Structure 1
Amino acid sequence: MFALLSAARKALTGQTRTEHRPATLAAPGPRHSRRALALALPAVALVAACQPISMGGNTGPSINTQRPVPVALLVPRGSGKDGDAILAASLENAARLAASELNGVQIDLRVYDTQGSAEVTAAVTGQAISDGAKVILGPVYAANANAAGRVAAARGVNVLAFSNNPEIAGGNVFILGPTFQNTADRLTRYAVGQGRSRIVLVSGQTPEGRASAAAVESAALRNGASVVASVPYEFSQTGVLNAVPAVRDAAGRDAANADAIFLTANTAGALPLFSQMLPENGLGPDKVQYIGLTRWDIPPQTLDLPGVQGGWFALPDPGLSAQFNSRYTAAYGTAPHPIGGLAFDGVAAIGALVRQGRSDALSTAGLTQGSGFQGVGGVFRLLPNGTNERGLAVATIQDRQVVVIDPAPRSFAGTGF
């Protein structure tokens, strides 16, 4: 626990360093890189925008499902940034694993290196489509996904990006990453069902903190909860310490005033400090229900924190996630990157659509089919606004162990969706 608190203090003071383990490289396959493409980059791709150009209507390329369907996978290999090579390898590994499990559906997976650059991403997106790609899978970073989307829109091709940033979703760009909104909706629905509907919202004054706070506020409105107090804090150790009395006063002045504290902080930020300081100030989990917008089981040391005991958080179906991790490790000799499974989900969704045998399988209507798809962590579907909805489990921590208290749904036919 002391190591985790120390890491949190460093994060809040800007003294962080990320370390990564080596990863096994993917099996050989077609790969393309920048080379001289940047010199021929279309001028339109140099223009930054919040959203890519909309193609309008039910748009997408026609495909021949009787032949291997060309799919372009865009990964951040070659950026020179710490960890991008490992992430790129994991995404490619997961995509190839998914392609090997499609049971008769043939995907011609072609990998393109973006170097983590929006300009290079735009160039290789254009090359991929010229090479015959019928859908773009990736890239990772929001600015790159926006660049890919703009180029692909002009060619009538959809993009399934690994980003979780809803600001770049829409038009022909769909994001596969888990969103704050989806998690906030799942947790507030559950909380209201358990009689916990009066929320004190605690969030950092950072872009991520403000986005997460907006998601919780929106979820509360939609699901019958109310935010009775909002406590923003400066993203620093001093900011957290100064926020604790305000949280205590908001949640503790009257037993009828609030029955839940929604913490948006993650384990690399303010969560360890809040989970220590709030109980020390008389506001332990025995007095009020703690709810977390982020994963409280990563890293495992988080389970030792006093304030998370009995708290609620959401996560993908643990059983299905474990099965994917096991298959991936058996195939490549190492665990997948935390977001590597998004590439598996993308290929699985494409494969499921191609299996339907329709020439418009990769159109906007196909990608947004209401029944969704089965991914590494459970059911998910792409929404018409370019974001996604994922079936999540609600878990708590008991005796420093994760316990699922409301299982993840296995389809979108049931309640809660």
Structure 2
Amino acid sequence: MELVDYTICGLAVLIFTSWCINWLTHVMAIVYGKLKFHRQTTVLVPEELPGVSIIKPLLGVDPHLFGNLETFFNLKYPQYEILFCIQEEMDGALMIVQSLMQKYPKVDAKLFIGGKKVGINPKVNNMILGYDAAKFDLILISDSGLRMKEDTLLDMVNCLTEKTGLVHQMPYICDRKGFSSLVEQIFFGTQQAKMYIGANCLGINCTTGMSCLFRKEVAEEAGGMKYFGQFLAEDYMLAQAFLDRGWIVRISSQTAYQNAGNYSIADFHARLVRWTKLRIATVPTTMFFEPIFQCMFLGAITSWAVSYLFDWTALVFFLIHVLVWFLGDYILISVVQGGPLPCSKFEFMVGWLLNEMSYLYLICQAHLNPTVVWRSKKYRIKWGGITEEITPPPPKE
């Protein structure tokens, strides 16, 4: 009987400790975000700025593609090239790229069509020709759905010190119309931001490849971009290769502004499930830690823990927990936004509740079906991140 009591007590203490760690992470994210984001970019002497090769892998067209790509032609940076990579010659993005190259003839821009299969990752296969042709040692891989400010590239380069090998931007969402866009923005400004900033503070690899600046010579030491083609999570593995070689990986003071023209809650949830599957296979420990750092689940189990340990009323504790978490998330997203949110407090509350109520279900969905569907293809990810494509059986005659 005493053994059972000690076990229950130990479990309650462990849960309460996890709750305390979560709040430390929350506060750390707010403070670090306040110090880090939206700082004034220091302008260096132009002659001291290294050249940058920007690789833009493209697939398909959405209503914002032209405007997003145009921001890369208007960067205030003395020396850079844009390398557009398109897999199919009939892709509609081809005409948009060609029209921009005609509109801005003074910008050094090149177009690569067809790609080359070097691994299982379709993004790497698409951009490998641009990567091989890059003339500068600094490479910026930037997804098609991103838009840049005029000084964004300068901000990222300024983060490169002698010991820094890779600089990445924290994902966020541009102000767009519609409730589904608001739901995405709330997720990236709260749940994602807290874990992303917290991991960065603790030196944990949290890199996403949607906007990532790195030294090509170090990537070549690890086997070059073709080596990372065997992973679907090539961004994480790339950053890990830098860390393993003693380089620092830093976060930029500007966020990566996602501005896709086609968006919906269903597509957003599908993306979250895919990312969760990648994290589970690449870093298996996330399957244990992610669920317990969700507001509702953590609040529920901690309510039991404090009622057992301190004889507090569980329901009152749970309601206070949710309220304080909500206020903390509102402060955090305001820090990430760098100004007023494009919604009322009531709209924020509705979007926040939807995110918090659905995310645990999405995590469970990722566990139940480990197959990853990306760009109409299916993949099976092995432990460690190595991926193989699931080839459908040939049709019966």
TM norm structure 2: 0.26
